[in-house]
Chain A
Amino acid sequence: MKPADDVRKLFKDAGLRVESKADERVFEDMVQAQHRVDENPKRVPDAWRRTMRNPITKVAIAAGIVIACTVGLFLWTGTGSGIALADVLTRIQQVSVYMYQMSMTVSGQATTGTAVDQNVHATILLSEDCGMKMNMEMTDPNGTTVTYHEQYVLPQKKILITIMPEHKKYMQIELDDTQFANLQKQNNDPGAMVKQILDCEYENLGRSTLGGIAVEGFRTTDPAYLGGMMGEIDATIWVDVKTQLPVRTEMEMQMGEMHVHGVVHDFEWDVSVDADEFEPVIPEDYTALSSVPFKVPATSEETALKGLRLAADLTGRYPEKLDIMTLTSYTGKIIMGDTPVAKRIRKEHTGLAREKYIAKITETIMPIQGIGTFYTLLTAEKKDPAYYGKLVCPEDKELVLMRWKASDTEYRVIFGDLHTETVTAETLAILETALPQ
């Protein structure tokens, strides 16, 4: 036994008990002290959670959901002539190769603060086996062609190749399954769009006629569309009543100060194309932006943590929201930022050619975009995610920064100081009450 062990044992064994009357008096003093300060009790922020824990309201809400679903079912199947959106998805999936045109207008202010007024026109060819090919032309308002891109998504190689003829450059980005799926959604693939609408709250717009074709419309303004990635959204799809295939889709998006209006039209179904169409042809004199393909970090908790840590190191705070515009604006500010870490990152890549410099910086800050991708995945998987970057700072070790469902009874939580824990739903409810208003 060490010399101190016997003293330590004595410390451990020595004890006391409290006399109950005095004990109660001390506690009452504490309660009074607490009440004197607590004249303006704080409102509890998570009303819905508390509401859901109340068994009476739980039954009422459940009844409301059942009524809503029943009404919905009546709308979709009760008439006998209506189109079920799920059937549209099935029909699209039966077509192996199809083609469509996409026209998009982007206006307003970009994250950098510069005014944007651009028209984008793209022709997209989609094949179940070979992937996607997109020819994209971007023009300014007076019709002058600004730039032309050719983009290939190759599912076998899980790679995205962009060819930029006016710069004689090309770029390769390696993708994982989730990123690949996200890319499909962002390119307004009608199949992916139908899937998204089915996951959201949507309404039937009824019958109409488009170019002499009888169509039925479906519309969603659900903020959960695309996992909330796109800000405010209004998406409509018009389906041919006869073939049950899309005829036209329209999308309005308000992302910060930027407005996007996109229309997908001129569908051609079951197109006959040669597999060579999907093989990118890169002229010999074109050079790669990076000697090795960019690797987008995996969509995972680890990447999200890495991104959040990087965000905290670079700016001392977290992105307020996880939609594309907020994250783009946030990373833009990082690149231009004055923090020592941002300056160090810039300095590390000084001397590189402009394209390579941009490529390196992009690669460095990519994990921050990974937070958004991970959140989108959680939304798509209906894991009840929530993010509180607006309220929580890196110093807030007790506050929930982000959470999602880990199982039926448990939630995974990332705290402000980026430590993680798995907690019960009840515990989470209590933790979230601590969030500032």
Chain B
Amino acid sequence: MMEDKLLIIGFKQGRREALREIYDKYKVEMLKLAVVLLGEVNTAEDVVHDVFVKFARSADRLKLTGSLRCYLATSVVNRVRNCRRDRLRRGETGLETVDRFAAYSRGPQQWAILDEQLTRLSDALRQLPYEQREVICCHMELDMAFREIAALQGASLNTIKGRYRYGLEKLRSLLNGEVTK
């Protein structure tokens, strides 16, 4: 916590090295979160890129009430939601319907290189309804309490627990042998 506190101070003073440290410390975790939430790597990269650039612009008005990790993770979750909403509004295909090839096809701009396990996990998660996926990712990846996720999704605690239970059940069946190894 103290380390983050010092990084934030340095960042707010415009120190490049502080920004670099924040970026290096959290980029992989945020990319992973975006990938499991979206089930698609290119959009995940765009989301995280936007989150970090926006963060870099926020030095003057940034006033953290919680941890930096939590702040960045919430920014990723919100950005993913906006991204999904924009696509649906534009009548574009939902990310869930993107085929496996498109989801992980790489070009010259490739930033994140997923290992096999993350690809499989992301594949399986993509097949869950988004609300269930978000609950599982927030709980498993970010260690968020159900109470916090309930606040994030604006749903009751019981609804969240239900989404988690159903999502987990389906995820286990999708992953089949993977989780029982």
Residues of A in contact with B (beta carbons under 8 Å apart): 3-4, 6-11, 13-19, 22-23, 26-27, 29-31, 33-34, 36-38, 41-42, 44, 397-398, 421, 423, 427, 430-431, 433-434
Q: How far apart are the CA atoms of A230 and B53 in the complex, in Å? A: 50
Contact B112 A16 (CB under 8 A): yes
Residue of A4, A23, A41, A398 near B14 (CB, 8 A) is: A41
Residues of the B chain whose Cβ atoms lie less than 8 Å from the Cβ of A433: 9, 13
C-beta contact mask, B137-158 vs A, less than 8 Å → 1, else 0?
0001100000000000000000
Q: How far is the CA of A27 from the CA of B18 in the complex (A)?
A: 12
Residues of A within 8 A of B32 (CB): 14-16
Which residues in B have their C-beta under 8 angstroms from that of A18? Answer: 27-28, 31, 111-113
Instruction: Tell which of A7, A29, A36, A427 has the most Cβ of chain B within 10 Å.
Output: A7
Q: What does DSSP make chain A's interface, helix, strand, loop or mixed?
A: helix
Q: Check if B140 sits within 8 Å of A44, measured CB to CB.
A: no
- Identify 17 residue pairs between A and B in the complex whose beta-carbon atoms are under 8 Å apart, listed by A's number: A4-B140, A6-B172, A6-B179, A7-B171, A10-B178, A16-B115, A17-B115, A18-B28, A18-B111, A23-B111, A26-B23, A33-B54, A33-B56, A37-B57, A37-B60, A431-B9, A433-B9
In the bound complex, what is the Cα–Cα distance between A163 and B172 (angstroms)? 81
When the two chains form the complex, which single residue of B8, B52, B64, B113 contacts A19, counting CB atoms closer than 8 Å?
B113
- Chain A residues with Cβ under 8 A from B14's Cβ? 34, 38, 41-42
Known contacts A29-B49, A34-B19: A14-B13 contact under CB 8 Å: no
Q: Which chain B residue shows the least CB distance to A11?
A: B140
Q: Which A residues are CB-close (under 8 A) to B23?
A: 26-27, 30
Q: How far is the CA of A14 from the CA of B39 in the complex (A)?
A: 13
Contact present for B53 and A421 (CB under 8 Å): no
Smallest CB-CB separation from A26: which chain B residue? B49
The CA of A34 and the CA of B54, in the complex, are separated in Å by: 9
Q: State the majority secondary structure of interface residues on B.
A: helix
- The 4 A-B pairs of least Cβ separation, nearest first, read A22-B111, A14-B118, A30-B56, A14-B117
Q: A18-B112, A19-B111, A427-B2 are in contact. List 15 more A-B contacts (CB 8 A).
A: A3-B168, A8-B140, A11-B36, A15-B117, A16-B35, A17-B28, A26-B52, A33-B56, A36-B57, A37-B59, A38-B59, A41-B13, A41-B14, A42-B14, A434-B9
- From A427, which residue of chain B is reached at the shortest CB distance? B6
A10 touches B8 (CB 8 A): no
Residue of A nearest to B31 (CB): A16
Residue of A13, A42, A44 touching B117 (CB-CB under 8 A): A13
With A and B bound together, what is the CA distance between A44 and B168 in angstroms?
Answer: 51
Residue interface mask B1-20, A partner, CB < 8 A = 1: 01001101110111010011
Chain A residues positioned under 8 Å from B20 (CB to CB):
27
Q: Can you name the residue of chain A whose Cβ is closest to the Cβ of B41?
A: A16
Cα distance A10–B12 when bound, in Å?
37
Min Cβ gap A17→B in Å is 5
Q: How close is A392's CB to chain B, nearest CB, in angstroms?
A: 13
Fill in one digit per residue for B54-74: 1 if any A CB lies within 8 Å of its CB, else 0.
111101100011000000000
B114 within 8 A of A: yes
Q: Are B118 and A421 in contact (CB under 8 A)?
A: no
Contact of A7 among B5, B59, B65, B172 (CB under 8 A): B172
Q: For the complex, give the distance between the alpha carbons of A31 and B12 in Å.
A: 13
Given contacts A7-B175, A14-B117, A16-B35, contact A33 B57 (CB under 8 A): yes
Residue of A nearest to B179 (CB): A6
Question: A residues within 8 A CB of B175?
Answer: 7, 10
In the complex, how many angstroms separate the beta carbon of B56 from the nearest chain A beta carbon?
4
Q: Contact: A6 with B180, CB < 8 Å? A: yes
Whether the pair A7, B168 counts as a contact (CB closer than 8 A) is yes
Question: B180 to chain A: which residues have CB within 8 Å?
Answer: 6
Q: In the complex, which residues of chain A have a beta carbon less than 8 angstroms from the beta carbon of B179? A: 6-7, 9-10
